[in-house]
Structure 1
Amino acid sequence: MKALVYNGPRDVQVMDMPDARIERATDALVRITRTNICGSDLHMYEGRTDMKPGRILGHENVGEVIEVGAAVDRVKVGDMVSLPFNIGCGFCENCERGLSNYCLTTNPGLAGAAYGFADMGPYHGGQAEFLRVPYADYNCLILPRDAAEKQNDYVMLSDIFPTGYHATEMAQLRPGESVVIYGAGPVGLMAALSATIKGASLVMVVDTHKDRLALAEKIGAVAIDDSEGGGIERVMELTGGRGADCGCECVGYQCCNMHQEEVPNLTMNNLVNAVKFTGHIGCVGVFVPQDPNGKDKLQRRGQMAFDFGMFWFKGQKLGTGQCPVKGYNRFLSRLIEQDKVKPSWIVSHELPLDQAPQAYKNFDAREEGWTKVTLVPNG
């Protein structure tokens, strides 16, 4: 099969790889019809993780089931399915608690597994023609009949739409409240969409990329351009000096200042200052235990200078970690089915798989207009 393979930092290539296949009775084999490039793929692409060469990338996947193992009961050949990036077993203690993002059996020695991701198990990703799905009855979300016509919407259910929603959940956003979202990338835009769905009175999105901020304005969010600083002051102005009721961190450890220099603690410390006393912060941006190519000693150890004193003084609360996609994807799919939301509004490029290396290069360079790339491996 054709697949996008990681060879090393900023070196990915579409290659012929052994076909994905059924390996256990609980597996399904899926023909991938849409697969996205995620912002967190760029951490691996840039060599900022310990991703091993030879791995197939891609954890945002939609496709058609073409084969099932003997023990698969619910999922049928011909089903169109969305695949959570988390790979869960469904029967461990964490999966039973709804924490499929920290499954205890699919990544021995750690908690949590994913397709094509560093430190999250041996599983190949879906930027390929075919994908093996473990524990298929648990992991496959069977999509409605309109799936073929709305693939660019439903593929967002595999990661960024639930992840954006999860950020607002950890921030404990309630109807009528205000929220400030740092990051107008795909996840930040999904957090803004989720905040709108949940009835926020004021949704503020802070970034330095004008093209992405323009997308936030399309759904009624207030875009705050922080390219010259002053983002916190603008939040205070819009909230009468008290700060937002809650906030979402949707950038991660490679966040940059106005000069496009990496400052890992920037967004977290800005949120401490931009969110009110006793407010909640939801952090879904990726932060890693080690960053081998980090600029300084703290970065390389996965640490940062967090303004804990002010965080403590303001009595704020913080929720962190990857999204348990299965906790949200079913009801979010119904919003897509009923045309209540259309998350594909952020898609800037729909490309064949063989153009993936150039797409990674452009997306990594944050070129204007490259907001979200979806790949079509099979036609």
Structure 2
Amino acid sequence: MKATVYEGPRSVAVKEVPDARIERPTDVLVRITTTNICGSDLHMYEGRTDFEEGRIFGHENMGEVVAVGDGVDRVRVGDLVCLPFNISCGFCRNCEKGLTAFCLTTPDNPKMAGAAYGFADMGPYDGGQAELLRVPYGDHNCLVLPEEARERQSDYVMLSDIFPTGWHATQLACVQPGDTVVIYGAGPVGLMAALSATLKSASKIMVVDRHPDRLALAEEIGAIPIDDSKVSPVDQVNEQTDGLGADRGCECVGYQAHDPQGHEHPNLTLNNLVQSVKFTGTIGVVGVFIPQDPGSPDKLYKEGEIAFDYGLLWFKGQTIGNGQANIKAYNRQLCGLIQAGKAKPSWIVSHELPLDKAPEGYQHFDARDNGWTKVLMHPDGGSHN
């Protein structure tokens, strides 16, 4: 099969690799029809993680079931399915609580919790930027989609990661109807957090970024764009909230946050949130932070530490929630919103490419080239909208 293989920093190639196959009775084999490039793929693409050369990228996947193991009861050949990026068992202590991002069965390191397709330090599993994908614990991990999803794949594929992750940001931040919300980052996850806050009837949503194309997408759904290359985002949020600060804040950037001059500061968005969220406000952090980052220009963050305004956080009585989204906790409900026409997450999609164009897609998305806001790839060569 063809697959997108990591060859080293800022280098991927589409190569022929051994076909994915059923390995255990509980496996499902999926022919991938749509797979996305995610912002968290870029950390690995840039060589900032220990993702091994020769491995396959891709954790935002959907496709058609072409084979099932003997132990699969529910999923059928021919089903169109969307796959949570978390690979979970469904029966361990964490999965039973709905914490599927922290599955205790699927990691290959006993000191870790959680696994994912094609992701550094999250198990040995191949990614889905390929023609075929093996799905462990298929009955549990496959979300079977309605028939209309075949023609609306650019909406439904977002259930694999970024739509539930954006929703998770608002859950961690405890967004309620009528709240004011500030979101740092207008990448795909930040835009999904803005969409989620809209669906939760937030009264005012402010999105901080500096890329005009991304801010324009935020504005399309009624969010207030704040360009931090032109104004202080903290001052702007205060101005928009009568000096009180936002009720809720979402961090959707992660450890490679940059200032407008292009310098990297892993603490930038976190400290801005502490300053721009009100006393007793809540903050949800879904941008990726990692335990060590030897490639960081920040001396502290090489060891996974940051200079964080904890004193101000404490003084303001703020609460902060962290971590990867438990996709299965949300994807079925969010699927219902898409099916009912209440949510159309595909509004952020800028490019749909055949798999062979993966190197070009990575290059443009990594460079934040104007207009490259979300890239979908179709290994089967089709377009599904």
- In structure 2, the residue matched to 1:17 is 17
Work out whether 1:106 is the aligned partner of 2:106. yes
Question: Which residue of the partner structure matches residue 45 of structure 1?
Answer: 45
Q: 1:134 aligns with which of 136, 158, 165?
A: 136
- In the alignment, what sits opposite 2:340? 338
* Distance across 2 between alignment mates of 1:288 and 1:318: 17
The letter of the residue matching 2:239 is E
**What does the per-residue CA deviation read over 1:151-194, in whole Å, with 9 as the maximum and x for residues that have no partner?**
00000000000000000000001001110000000000000000
Distance 2:38 2:217 in 1: 17
CA deviation after TM superposition for structure 1 residue 243, in Å = 0.2
CA distance in 1, matches of 2:134, 2:294: 30
Letter aligned with residue 306 of structure 2: M
Distance, in Å, in 2 between the alignment partners of 1:367 and 1:111 is 35
Q: CA deviation at 1:229?
A: 3.7
TM-score (norm 2): 0.98
Report the counterpart of residue 357 of structure 2 in structure 1.
Answer: 355
- Rounded to whole Å, the distance in 2 between the matches of 1:80 and 1:373 is 21
User: Partners in 1 of 2:282 and 2:331 — Cα distance?
Assistant: 23
Tell me, in whole angstroms, the C-alpha distance in 2 between the residues paired with 1:200 and 1:296.
36
Q: Unpaired segments of 5 or more residues in structure 2? A: none
**Counterpart-to-counterpart distance in 2, 1:334 and 1:145:** 13
Q: Aligned partners of 2:97 and 2:356: how far apart in 1?
A: 40
Deviation sequence 1:216-237 (CA, Å, 0-9, x none): 0000001111113411111001
* SS across alignment from 1:374: strand
Counterparts in 2 of 1:1-379, with a 5 A limit? 1-108=1-108, 109=110, 110-379=112-381
SS at match of 1:56: coil
Q: Deviations over 1:101-128 (max 9, x none)?
A: 0000100311000000000000000000
CA distance in 1 between counterparts of 2:245 and 2:260 reads 22
Asked if 2 retains the 8 angstrom alpha-carbon contact of 1:30 and 1:66, the reply is yes
**CA distances 1:51-77 after superposition (whole Å, capped 9, x unpaired):** 111110000001000000000000000
Determine helix, strand or coil for the equivalent of 1:297: coil
Q: Is the 2:184–2:250 contact (alpha carbons within 8 Å) kept by the matching residues of 1?
A: yes
Runs of 4+ in structure 1 displaced over 3 angstroms?
Answer: none
1:5: Cα distance to partner? Answer: 0.3
**Counterpart residue identity of residue 169, structure 2:** A
Residues 265 and 298 of structure 2 are in contact (CA less than 8 Å); yes or no, is this contact kept in structure 1? no
Using structure 1 for the length normalisation, give the TM-score.
0.99
Structure 1 CA distance, aligned partners of 2:378 and 2:87? 22
Q: Distance in 1 between matches of 2:130 and 2:278?
A: 45
**Residues 187 and 214 of structure 2 are in contact (CA less than 8 Å); yes or no, is this contact kept in structure 1?**
yes
Given that residues 82 and 155 in structure 1 are in contact (C-alpha distance below 8 angstroms), is that contact kept between their aligned partners in structure 2?
A: yes
Q: Is the 8 Å Cα contact of residues 50 and 292 (structure 1) preserved in structure 2?
A: no
- The AA in structure 1 aligned to 2:131 is E
- CA distance in 2 between counterparts of 1:305 and 1:209 reads 26
Cα distance in 1 between the residues matched to 2:59 and 2:309? 33
State the alpha-carbon separation in 1 of the partners of residues 264 and 68 from structure 2.
Answer: 45
Q: How much does 1:145 deviate?
A: 1.1
Q: 2 CA distance for matches of 1:39 and 1:123? A: 19
**What letter corresponds to residue 274 of structure 1 in structure 2?**
S
CA contact (8 A) 1:182 1:188 kept: yes
Counterpart AA for 1:120: M
* DSSP-derived class of the 1:319 partner: strand
State the one-letter code of the partner of 2:87: I
Deviates more, 1:276-285 or 1:256-265: 256-265
CA contact (8 A) 1:36 1:58 kept: yes
Question: Per-residue deviation at 1:292?
Answer: 2.2
- Find the aligned partners of 2:19 and 2:40 in 1 and give their Cα distance: 25
Q: Over residues 79-107 of structure 1, what are the superposed CA-to-partner deviations in whole Å (9 max), with x where a residue is unaligned? A: 00000000000110000000000000100
Moved more, 63-72 or 287-296: 287-296
State the shift of 1:294 in Å.
1.0
| Identity within the alignment, % | 68
- In 1, the alpha carbon distance for the partners of 2:298 and 2:372 equals 29
Gaps (5+ residues) in structure 1?
A: none
For 1:205 and 1:86, the matched residues in 2 are separated by 27
Paired residue type of 1:348: S
Could you report, residue by residue, the CA deviation over 1:279-326 in whole angstroms, capped at 9, with x for unpaired residues?
Answer: 000000000011121113212111111110101110000000000000
| Residue type of the alignment partner of 1:75 | V
How many pairs were matched up? 379
**Contact 1:229/1:258 (<8 A) preserved:** no
Q: Secondary structure at the match of 2:6?
A: strand
Give the aligned residue type for 2:304.
G
Q: CA RMSD in A?
A: 0.6
Distance, in Å, in 2 between the alignment partners of 1:322 and 1:258 is 27
Instruction: Look up the SS of the partner of 1:217 in the other structure.
Output: helix
